[in-house]
Structure 1
Amino acid sequence: MPTYLPFDPNPRRPSKLPPPKSIDSQFHVLGPLDKYPVRPGAAYQMPTATWEAALRVHKALGIERGIIVQTTTYGADHSVVLDALAAMGPNYRACANALVFAEADDAYLAKLHDAGVRGARFSFRQELGAVLSDKDFARAIAKIRELGWYAKIQPEKDGIVSSAAKYENLDVPVLIDHMARPDPVRGKDDPNLQKMLALLSKGNFWVMLSLGEKTSKNGPPWDDVIPIARAYIEAAPDRCVWASDWPHPVSVVQPPNDADLLELLYRYAPDEAELRKILVTNPAKLFGFED
């Protein structure tokens, strides 16, 4: 199993604080390993990143609320998320890993819902070993509809074009991670960007403005991803959200300081009204927080 690099342990204060009640729409909690063992067959194992460390990052950034997203590292066992939700309090909610629909019963789904889970993340990346069969996917969507959750899509390495047919006609809220992983070099003609814009036109699709630092082909300060983010904000200003993706899983180069990523968002959305939508109003609506 490859060795991946840990997050920056010294988050700095950003150049300006985000609006009150800002929401980090995706971060992960991992470890400690002796308490939360990696599931058999997991594609990767990350350095420990506890809920206490996540709170320190959010406090430094001025982020008050957040969504814990279960990683494929733990699969259907959501113990690490349940414990984190109990400790972090009502300003935090969570997104399950979709493997739970294939491996757990309705009572466990109800337990997750009661704890603050409001969505499930689906992967079509075969290398992660967490892809549902078509039958299990259909059952999962039915349960999401019943629970009032949203579906979250993890793009493949080459984007969403190859998998979009599986979910583009869903009638539940759908959040696409990581800006759909377009290629900045291809600009506005990138097929993933075009597909994401087409999905946004449907009204029930959302996009997460995250992973700009890894999407960029030019490196810091990641100027080449700004046009991508602007295209989404201009297309659907009420359905864009932002996420740190802390602690930056499967990083083969040192992850940036998380303040750098928040400041990149400020460049995506220099208008204060747009910024408040992305950090507060939009995610509050999607995740069921009060604005």
Structure 2
Amino acid sequence: MHVVDPHGFPLSEDAQYQPSPHTFDDAHAFLNQLGIRNMVIVQPSIYGNDNACTMDGLRRLGPEKGRAVVQFDPETTSLEQLQEWHDLGVRGVRLNFKSVGGEVEQAALTASMRRYADAKAMAEELGVKVCVDHFGHPSMGSLEKAKKAQDLPGFESLVRLLKGGQTWVKVSASYRLNKDPRHPMVESLCREILKTRPDRCVFATDWPHTRFDGLDVVPYLHAVLDAIEAEGIPLQQVLVSNSDELFDAEAR
């Protein structure tokens, strides 16, 4: 989930879009309606490296109910700051290439990830979990050209990462891939990911559905839930248990 409060927390000068306010209170009310107790707040791209809004929400949740994924510059962020964030419930850093409108070559991506790994000397010993958003986010064009999930650029690489055990994939926000909630290629992609490592798939609400204000997301939600059940995978696993492992719920 994202918390967006432009009135309380000004957006970055480089923000690529101007969202409607979706405050922490709004997010909390939304989850209460669904009977969801815990929340993972993900830093929106529109705030850049300023995590004030995200951390405000995390502090209000407390580590018993909250986790967060932040964005920061490893060259200017101290180990003390990282430890403080960790104690509050931060469990990840967001590398966002889609929302900022850029394409990243392999060498640049490798250099970027190494910068974050170098932020803590024990990174290799601790192990690094990677979570890929929105089914790997294939382009609309590639979905239209493909006849099966295996035809999608990058799919085989994603499968290898999943099989390695340190990568999770969010089965979420299929409306960002295609406007048809029952698009056959999106369904194929979802089911192939679920087959590969059902224990490495996590569901996310993607609330407040930034850039898709007013969209009825229920049909897209039902399509994902149907795919999970069609593969014979317990909903509890994808909606709860896998996320608990990814976001270190046992440390509460």
**TM-score normalised by length of structure 2:** 0.82
Which of 218, 233, 236 is the aligned partner of 2:197?
A: 236
Cross-structure match for 2:116: 140
Give 1 or 2: higher strand fraction: 1
The equivalent position to 1:248 in structure 2, one of 190, 209, 212, is: 209
Q: CA deviation at 1:136?
A: 5.3
- Alignment-derived partner of residue 40 in structure 1: 13
1:175 has 2:131 as partner: yes
Structural mapping, 1:97-112, within 5 Å: 97=71, 99-112=72-85
Instruction: Give the letter for the 1:184 counterpart.
Output: L
Aligned to 1:278: 238
Asked whether the 8 Å contact 1:212–1:222 carries over to 2, the reply is no
Q: Deviations over 1:120-171 (max 9, x none)?
A: 1112348458x888655423123367479x9xxxxxxxxxxxxxxxxxxxx5
Residues 35 and 236 (structure 1 numbering): CA distance in 2 closer, same or farther, change over 3 Å? same
Which one-letter code corresponds to 2:204 in the other structure?
A
Task: Specify the SS of the correspondent of 1:35.
Answer: coil
Cα distance in 1, alignment partners of residues 133 and 75 from structure 2: 22
Gaps of 5+ in 2: none
Q: The residue matched to 1:44 in structure 2 has which SS?
A: coil
Question: What residue in structure 1 maps to residue 45 of structure 2?
Answer: 72
Report SS of the residue matched to 1:73.
helix
- Say whether 1:196 aligns with 2:158: yes
Q: Deviations over 1:55-106 (max 9, x none)?
A: 2221222322221000121122211111101222321210011x34244333
Alignment of 1:7-46 (within 5 A): 27-31=1-5, 33-46=6-19
What secondary structure sits across from 2:164 in the alignment? coil
Identity across aligned pairs (percent)?
Answer: 29
Aligned to 1:94: 68
Amino acid paired to 2:242: N
TM-score after normalising by structure 1: 0.72
CA contact (8 A) 1:184 1:228 kept: no
Q: Which has the higher helix share?
A: 2
Structure 2 SS opposite 1:201: helix
Distance 2:109 2:158 in 1: 24
After superposition, residues 199-218 of structure 1 pair within 5 angstroms as 199-216=161-178
CA-based RMSD of the aligned residues comes to 2.9
Q: Which runs of 5+ in 1 are unaligned?
A: 1-26, 151-170
> Amino acid of the residue matched to residue 225 of structure 2?
Y
